[in-house]
Structure 1
Amino acid sequence: MAAPGLGAPPELPFDDPCADRERAGPRPRTAGGPAPGDDAGGLDVFLAGRVFMDMIFTGLPGLPPPGTELVTDGLGSAPGGIANIAVAMSRLGLRTGLATTVGDDMFGAYLWRTLSEQEGVDLTWSRRAGGWPTPVTVSMAYDSDRSMVTYARPLPPSADEPVTVPPHASTCFIDIDRPVPAWALAMRRQGSLVFADVGWDPTETWSTDVLDRLAAVDVFLPNAVEAMAYTRTRHPADALEALALRVPTVVVKQGARGAIAIDSTTGERAEAAALPVEALDTTGAGDVFAAGFVFGTLAGWPLLQRLRFANLCAGLSVRHYSGSLGAPCWGEIAAFGETTEVAPEILADYEFVVPYIPEAELGSGPDSVTRAQPTLK
């Protein structure tokens, strides 16, 4: 029975904020399978990894010193971890499959519904683990950056089984802070492109075993700090050169300084500036960047255009306090091109994107953008 005067708890909306996600412009067929958007079947990208319940505190002047308390006016919640990139890819119209495990608690139910019902991520390969708590990360955003605290229990043996039969997909995305999983190797043998990122090493030993795993990777997307630490170099450009000897395509993300890359398969080298916008929350920005780069790769764009589109997607995402739910839909990409937020000569660098924007979004104006909101704000 509900407490007197309180009534029933509110129903959270799970409406799709990107109704255009299946209508992005045509992309070419890749070696790994049918062309993205082809109704013959198959995914554009397949991922496997841990999903977290992200709780994002905003409006902080800094971190609270020991023994003190800060009161802030901003709190958001959104799927985190591998969900950051899964949501970003799905919002660009890529058919995205995800293998993960969530708990049977309240957080797990929210994550499952948000990913499947709101964001259109295919969870056929995912499961719910009874009696296991869903991992939680608290992100504290301040001064255009953030610090994080995570709670995560080991998966129960019954839920810690690898993907035994991977789906047919043009690409897959992995994290190489662990050995390359057998399902990714199998997908690569079948023609899928393997994209990889790497997380922060909490031990700060930066084992070179990670670099050895790049032999099974086609595209590597570390940030500058990670790239320099693993290659024992002092400058991002030097780290890029070292990594290019190990993997066909390397991108080093430099945050507000943009990104640099080498594609040894085409002989291209490129450098692209970040989108000049005010960053409110950088949570998940690297994952949104990766989603844009995957899309550009499937589109067959030159390296410079792939970098620019990835920077565009990441730049649009950091303008929101919402973690993974800050990833842009095509409607927001179109609306940004119709504003005066940046100079016309900067917008001109992104004209190549226009043919990929759904016709319904062109000319609709910034007021037409629908954005999924965090559960609290």
Structure 2
Amino acid sequence: MTAGRGGTPPPSLDDPCAERGPAGELLHRRRPLRGGEPCDLDVFLTGQVFMDMIFTGLPGLPPPGTELVTDGLGSAPGGIANIAVAMSRLGLRTGLAAAFGDDLFGAYLWRTLSEQENVDLRWARRITGWSTPVTVSMAYGSDRGMVTYARPLPSAGELVTAPPDAATCFVHIDRPVPDWARAARAAGALVFADLGWDPTETWSTDVLDRLDHVDVFLPNSVEAMAYTRTGTPEEALAALSARVPVVAVKQGSRGAIAVDAATGERAAAPALPVTALDPTGAGDVFAAGFVYGTLAGWSLAHRLRFANLCAGLSVRHHSGSLGAPCWGEIAAFGETGEVPAEVLEQYAFIVPYIPETELARGAGSVTRAEPTLRQGAL
């Protein structure tokens, strides 16, 4: 990204609440309550990991009794791993508590997340005799069909009994906010939350009561309007801002809008003007960018722009964690000529945060980790 080094300057090295992350970027750090030392993690999250297998280049779904052959096959950690990978690729120190099967897929996912994607799995567990959940996605045109296999997780006790030392944590309020997240918030961590589609389509407003334990809420516009019984994203944003300090409503190709109820700051940012190949996981990538921008101490408007940038880069690739951008892709994007210079200039505030090694590489040598199932991978 070569739009220049204007915009918000990075925080000073003299700032006692500042620290360099593993990718070299300088992040604002909250002062932890335990001894004044930097937090062990930037973000901590829990959830279910899936083995995602994505077939691409199909003319459609195979009719009964037929077979389709394609040369496009990718594999990647899915489920909660989508957002864990997106955060880790931005250099955030990411901890994940999840269950993994003791089969070949579980071993592949564990190795990919811990060794290739640098996700901290100290709180994860391999479950003996349990099969790793698998989702097969068949992408054709701008649509897709999916098949998922998942066995119930045997009772194995809580993965997290006490919260780790993390600056932020990420939860889904489809279910009650876990005790560990409430404890982390009491200790000073910021709780970010999202929620998914309600398969019953009852959109119980009781779900929103869980926002009492949340600091930042990141729903999409359809969910936000359904739960608040409103007719526009703007009305939904206003209703939600009465319940939680910071709300950002994702609107897909229309960008995102947000409000900080504590400061009164309001912001809107357009989506990145790129051709979308696959929007799967874009919301998770948006959330990763918003968490990063929050830790960097950016304005609400800059957080939205960066989150939209990350999400926009991700939809140019097939599926969740495969599409999450690394800093090399962010740095190279400004050299691709995909957007006009006047648009690119609006992202100039990001440049001081790009590791110097990635700026030096240029567009010709983007490093992108793409876990792909191939001979010998397991």
Normalising by structure 2, report the TM-score. Answer: 0.88
Which of 141, 147, 168 is 1:171 aligned to? Answer: 168
- Of 21-30 and 100-109, deviating more is 21-30
The one-character-per-residue Cα deviations of 1:261-304 (angstroms, maximum 9, x if unpaired) are 11112211111111111111222111011000000000111111
Which of 322, 347, 351 is 1:350 aligned to? Answer: 347
- 5 Å-filtered alignment, 1:99-138, equals 99-138=97-136
Which of 186, 195, 198 is 1:189 aligned to? Answer: 186
Distance 1:142 1:262, change over 3 A: farther
1:68 and 1:223 map into 2 onto residues whose CA distance is 38
SS at match of 1:178: coil
1:226 and 1:66 map into 2 onto residues whose CA distance is 35
> What is the RMSD of the two structures over their aligned residues, measured on CA atoms?
2.1
2:138 and 2:119 map into 1 onto residues whose CA distance is 27
Task: Work out whether residues 180 and 216 of structure 1, in 8 Å CA contact, stay in contact via their aligned partners in 2.
Answer: yes
1:60 to partner: Cα distance = 3.5
SS at match of 1:97: strand
Residue 27 of structure 2 is matched in structure 1 by 27
SS at match of 2:167: strand
1:232 to partner: Cα distance = 1.6
The one-character-per-residue Cα deviations of 1:182-240 (angstroms, maximum 9, x if unpaired) are 00000000000000010111222212121110111001111111111111222211111
Residue 367 of structure 2 is matched in structure 1 by 370
1:145 and 1:51 map into 2 onto residues whose CA distance is 23
- Ranges in structure 2 where 5+ consecutive residues have no aligned partner: 1-19
- Of 290-299 and 41-50, deviating more is 41-50
Q: How many residues align?
A: 354
Residue 316 of structure 2 is matched in structure 1 by 319
Instruction: Give aligned-pair identity as a percent.
Output: 75
Normalising by structure 1, report the TM-score. Answer: 0.89
2:33 and 2:43 map into 1 onto residues whose CA distance is 10
Residue 13 of structure 1 is matched in structure 2 by none
Residue 297 of structure 1 is matched in structure 2 by 294
- Of 166-175 and 72-81, deviating more is 72-81
Task: Work out whether residues 279 and 319 of structure 2, in 8 Å CA contact, stay in contact via their aligned partners in 1.
Answer: no
The one-character-per-residue Cα deviations of 1:25-47 (angstroms, maximum 9, x if unpaired) are 2111225569xxx9855110000
SS at match of 1:24: coil
| 2:25 partner letter | G
Which of 235, 258, 261 is 1:261 aligned to? Answer: 258
Task: Work out whether residues 281 and 319 of structure 2, in 8 Å CA contact, stay in contact via their aligned partners in 1.
Answer: no
2:363 and 2:293 map into 1 onto residues whose CA distance is 24
1:361 to partner: Cα distance = 1.4
Distance 1:143 1:254, change over 3 A: farther
Distance 1:65 1:198, change over 3 A: farther
SS at match of 1:80: strand
1:312 to partner: Cα distance = 0.5
| 2:49 partner letter | V
The one-character-per-residue Cα deviations of 1:152-171 (angstroms, maximum 9, x if unpaired) are 2221112x424102101000
- 5 Å-filtered alignment, 1:191-206, equals 191-206=188-203
2:21 and 2:112 map into 1 onto residues whose CA distance is 15
1:234 and 1:66 map into 2 onto residues whose CA distance is 41
1:303 and 1:61 map into 2 onto residues whose CA distance is 42
- 5 Å-filtered alignment, 1:61-72, equals 61-64=59-62, 70-72=68-70
Task: Work out whether residues 77 and 322 of structure 1, in 8 Å CA contact, stay in contact via their aligned partners in 2.
Answer: no
SS at match of 1:362: helix
SS at match of 1:56: strand
1:123 to partner: Cα distance = 0.3
- Ranges in structure 1 where 5+ consecutive residues have no aligned partner: 1-19
Residue 81 of structure 1 is matched in structure 2 by 79
Distance 1:375 1:96, change over 3 A: same
